[in-house]
Amino acid sequence: MNDDTPARGKRQLNPGTPQQARQAERQAARKARAASALSGDNDTDQSEPTGEIRVRPVAAPARIRRRHRGLFLSFVMMVVLPVTLATAYLYVLAQDQYASTTGFTVRSDESASATEMLGGLSAIVGGGSSSNTHVLYAYIQSQQLVERVQEQVDIRSLYSQNWDSDPLFSLWPDATIEDLLWFWQRMVVISYDMNSGLMDVQVKAHTAEMAQRIARIIVSESEQMINALNEQARSDAMSNAEADLEAALARLRSAREDIASFRARTQIVDPQADIAGRMGVINGLQESLATALVDYDLLLQTTAESDPRVRQAERRIEVIRQRIGEERRNFATQDVTVFDTDYPRLIAQFESLTVNQEFAERTYTAALTALDAARSTAQRQSLYLATYVQPTLAQRAEYPQRSLLVLLTLIFAGLIWSALALIYYSLRDRG
C-alpha cells in the first residue's frame, strides 16, 4: 500500500493551459505530502507510539506574487503619491487667504401712508422685497459688479500676483473679464436664505485689509443698486399714475360732453324732472276727474237727467278723460323732441349717459388717489439695504483649508483605487 501511494502521487496530468498545469502541480504536491504523512505515521506506530496527531496543512504557505506587487505599486501611484503631492503643495506653495464676512438684507418701508390706509392702494404702488433680494443675489454674481469693483480695486492684479508660485489658487495674469467673473465666484461665496431673506457674503483675498475693502465695495454697490431700484419704481409709479389720470380725465370730459350734447339736442335738461312734471299734470287731471264724477253723482240725485247742468257735467268728465288718455299716450307714442324721440328711448339714452358719467367720475377720483399715493411713495425710500453684519477684518488666514483638502484627497484617491482594484479582481476571477 505504501508503494502504490507514491506511484499515484507521481502520476502526471496533461494540462491544456498554464492554469490547469498549476492546479495539477498543487494536487500532486498535496498527494505527496499526504503519502509522506501516512508513511511517517506507520513508522511511528511500528517503533514507538507518541500520542501526537499530525495534520497536513490546508494550503501552501503564502508568498508575494507579481499581482501583489502591481497592486501595491498602484496604491502608491494612485493614493500615496497624490496625497503626498497635495500635502506638499498645500503646506509649501499655497498662499494664505483671509476672509471678510458681511451680511445684509433688503427691507421695505412698513409704515403706511394716509392714502394707503384710506384706499388700500399699496398693492398698486408697492411691491414685495423678496423679489428685490433675488435681484440683489444675482447682481453680486454678475459681470457688472465685477467691472465696478475692478474700477475701484485692481482685483485682476491682486488675484494674479502669486500665479508663478501658487497657480491653483491664483488667477492667470492675462485673464479676460469672463475669466475674472469665473474666479470672482470662487473668491466670493454667497449664502442666501430665501425664507428669511438674509444674505451672507464671504470675500477671500491674500490680505485681510483687501478682503475687507472688497466686502465694503460690495455693500456700497448693493446699496446703489437698491437705490436705483427705488428710483425706477418711483418713476414708473408716477408715470403710470399720471397716464391713468390723463385717461380718466379724458373719459370724464367725453361723458360730460355727451350729456351736454343730449340736453342741447332734446332741449330737456333732466328727463326725470320733465316726466315728473307731466306726471303731476296727469295726477291733477285725475283729481279733477274724481271731483267731476262726485259732482255728477250729486246732480243725478238732486235733479233730473234733462237738466242742462247734468249734460255739462258729462261733457266735463268726457273732456278730462280724453286729456288723461292723451297725456298717457305722450309717454309711449308721441314725440316729445324735435328729433322724433319718445320718452322710453329718451330715458334710456339719458340713463346710459348718466351711468357713463358716474363711472368716469369714480375712475377719475381713483386715479387722483393713486397719483397722491404714488407721489407720497416717491417722497420716501420704500426699499433700503439693511446691513446687519458690517465687513469684518480677519486676524488669521482660514483658507485654503489644508487639512480638509488633504483628507478629501486621501478619501477620494482611496475610493478610486479601491474601486479599480475590485474591478480588476472581479474580471480576473471571471477570466
Could you give the dihedral angle defined by the CA atoms of residues 209, 198, 111 and 379, in that order, rounded to the nearest 10 degrees?
Answer: 50
Tally of CB atoms within 10 A around 237: 22
How confident is the model at residue 379, as a pLDDT?
Answer: 61
183: nearest Cα among 158, 212, 219, 217: 158
The Cα 374–Cα 361 span in angstroms is: 20
pLDDT at 76: 92
Q: Averaged in consecutive runs of 10 residues, what is the pLDDT profile of the chain (431 residues)?
A: 43 53 71 60 47 63 74 91 93 92 82 43 45 87 92 90 89 90 92 88 93 93 86 78 86 86 76 68 80 81 76 84 77 52 72 86 87 72 80 91 93 94 85 63
Angle at 205 (CA atoms; ends 161, 98), nearest 5 degrees: 130
Contacts for 68 with CB less than 8 Å, ≥ 6 apart: none
Identify the burial level of 99 via C-beta atoms within 10 angstroms of its C-beta, where 0-12 means exposed, 13-18 middle and 19 or more buried.
buried
Which of 431, 273, 266 has its CA nearest to residue 345? Answer: 266
Pairwise CA distance, residues 69 & 129, whole Å? 65
The continuous run of DSSP H or E covering 139 comes out as helix 129-140
The DSSP secondary-structure symbol of 196 reads T
Q: What is the pTM of this model?
A: 0.58
| Number of other residues whose CB lies within 10 A of the CB of residue 121 | 22
Greatest Cα-to-Cα distance within the chain, rounded to the nearest angstrom: 186
